[in-house]
Structure 1
Amino acid sequence: MTSAARTTNIAERIYQQLKLDIFDFQLLPGDRFSESEIARRMSASRTPVREALYRLERDGYVQVHFRSGWQVRPFDFQYFEDLYDVRILLEAEAVRRLCEDKDREGRLAGLMTIWCCRPEQRSHDSSEVAFLDEEFHFGLLECGQNQEMAAIHRSVCERLRIIRRLDFTQKGRIEATYKEHSEILDDICHGRRDKVVNHLKKHIEISKNTVREITLHRIQEARKRYAEDKNMDMPPKVT
C-alpha cells in the first residue's frame, strides 16, 4: 500500500470516528479542540487528521477558527428548520409526480414489502428502523425519477442525520412510523395527490418536533455528565 493510500485510509477512520463522537454527543456542540489533540487521541499524524476535519467541515459538522483551532458546530435549530423545509418541498414534489405515474405500484413494490407488512414482520430495532426510514424517503425521491432532486435530497438528509437518528429512541415512534409510511404508500398507489402531500408533511413535522425535544434533552444530559466527570477529576477541597 502506498503512503498516500495509507493516509487516505487513516483519514477515513478518523472521519468516521469523529462523526460518531458528534452523533453520540461525546463531542458536544460548541466544543473546541486542536488538530494536535485529535492526532494524539487517534495515534495519527496531523495530515490525515486535517483531511478528516476539512471533510467534516464540508459536511457541516465542525468549523475552523484560524486563531483558535476547531469547533463542533453549535446547534442552530433554525439551520435544521431550513433543511426540513427543503426536504418537505422535495418529497412533496416527488409524491405528486408518483401519483401521476401509471407504473407507481411497480416502482413502490420494494417499499411496500418493507412497510406494508404484518405487525409480526416488523423490525423493532431502533437503529435498523432509522436506516429503513431514511431509505424509505430516499426511495420516494428515486422513484420520482429525477436524479438531481434525489441527489439534493440525499445531501439535505445527510446534514439532518445528526438529529434524525434520535427519532426512534422515543417510545411508540417505530409503530407510528410503520403506520404513517404505509398510509403514504397507500395514498400514492390510489393517486390521492393532495391527501398524500398532507400526510407526508404531517409525518415529517412530527419527526422534526420529536427529534428537537430529544436533542435538547441529550445535550443537557451530556453537559451534566461532562460536568460531573470534571468534578470527579478535581482534588478534594481542604477544609
Structure 2
Amino acid sequence: MKVSERIRQLIEEDIRSGVLLPGDVIDEQELAARFEVSRTPVREALLQLEAQNILISQPRQGMVVAKMDIQQLLAIWELLCEMEGVCVRLACERMSDEERQQLVRVHEQAQGVVDADDVDGWRAMNHAFHDVLYQGSRNPYLRQEILRLRARTGAYLRYAFSALGRLRSSQEQHGQIVDAILAHDPQRAHAMMMEHISLDQGARGLTDFIINLPRSMLSA
C-alpha cells in the first residue's frame, strides 16, 4: 500500500473516531513526521480527501475537516442508511458460520459496555459490530464507501447519539439484527438495520438530533 493511501486512511479514521472534528486544521508537518516522509505523499492524501469532500482548502489555514449543514448531513445519512441495509442483506446471505459466531461474540461483549454506560467503549464495539457485517458482505467496494460516508458523518452522530442516550436501544436493535442473521433471514436483517440506522425514529428523535448538534460543527 502506498504511503499516501495509509495517510488517507489514518485521517479518515481520525475523523470517524472523533480525533479530528469538523473545522479542525490538518497538520501536514505532523503527518509527515509521523510517517517519516516528505510532504509530497501527505499532500497527495489530502488532495484525495478534498476530492471526496471530506476536507476543504481554506485560505491561510490549509486543509481543514469539512463542515456540513443540516440538509447535507441528512442527505448523506439517508444514503448511508440504504447502503447499510444492502450490506447486512448481503452479509446475511454470504457470511460463514464462523463469522456469524464472531458477530454473536462482539454483540455479547458490547453488553458489558452498555451496562457500564460507557459511551466511548460503545463507539468501539459498535464499529466492531458493523465491521463484521461489512466484511461478511464480501463486497470491499461497498465497505469502502460506507466507511467514507461514516467518516463524513461520524462526529455529528457521536454528539447527537451521546445526547439522546441511545446505547441500550441500539444494543437491543443489534440483537434483533443478530437474530435475523442467525436465522438466515436477509429480508428481516435488512428491515432491522434500516430501523437501527434511521435517524428520526419519530419526529421527536429527529428534532432532538438536530438541536443537540454543536453549532460550531455546522457550515453557515
Fold shared by both chains (TM-score > 0.5):
yes
What SS does structure 1 have at the residue aligned with 2:138? coil
Rounded Cα–Cα distance in structure 2 between residues aligned with 1:216 and 1:57: 28
Please point out which of 98, 106, 123 is paired with 1:106: 98
Please point out which of 169, 177, 184 is paired with 1:184: 177
Rounded Cα–Cα distance in structure 2 between residues aligned with 1:57 and 1:145: 28
Kindly provide the amino acid, as one letter, of the partner of residue 148 in structure 1. Answer: Y
Partner of 1:237: none
Rounded Cα–Cα distance in structure 2 between residues aligned with 1:80 and 1:129: 22
Partner of 2:78: 85
What SS does structure 1 have at the residue aligned with 2:56? strand
Please point out which of 208, 214, 217 is paired with 1:219: 214
Shift of 1:72: 5.9
Structure 1 residues without counterparts, runs of 5 or longer: 224-239
Q: Deviations over 1:165-187 (max 9, x none)?
A: 22441354111111110110101
Correspondences of 1:17-96 after superposition (within 5 Å) = 23=21, 27=23, 51=43, 57-58=50-51, 60-64=53-57, 73-96=66-89
Partner of 2:90: 97
What SS does structure 2 have at the residue aligned with 1:78? helix
Partner of 2:34: none
Q: Deviations over 1:62-94 (max 9, x none)?
A: 422569977764422333233323323332222
Number of equivalenced pairs? 198
Please point out which of 123, 133, 141 is paired with 2:126: 133
Rounded Cα–Cα distance in structure 1 between residues aligned with 2:167 and 2:187: 25
Shift of 1:113: 1.1
Kindly provide the amino acid, as one letter, of the partner of residue 114 in structure 1. Answer: V
Q: Greater relative contact order: 1 or 2 (C-alpha under 8 angstroms, separation 6 or more)?
A: 2
Structure 2 residues without counterparts, runs of 5 or longer: 31-37
Correspondences of 1:156-235 after superposition (within 5 Å) = 156-170=149-163, 172-206=165-199, 213-214=208-209, 216-220=211-215
Q: Deviations over 1:78-131 (max 9, x none)?
A: 332333233233322222223334x54421222211214695574531112112
Partner of 1:115: 107
Identity percentage over the alignment?
16
Contact 1:138–1:153 (8 Å) recurs in 2: no
Q: Which has the larger radius of gyration?
A: 1
Please state if 1:151 is matched with 2:148.
no
The verdict on how the C-alpha distance between 1:214 and 1:88 changes in structure 2, with shifts beyond 3 A counting, is: closer
What SS does structure 2 have at the residue aligned with 1:131? helix
Contact 1:94–1:140 (8 Å) recurs in 2: yes
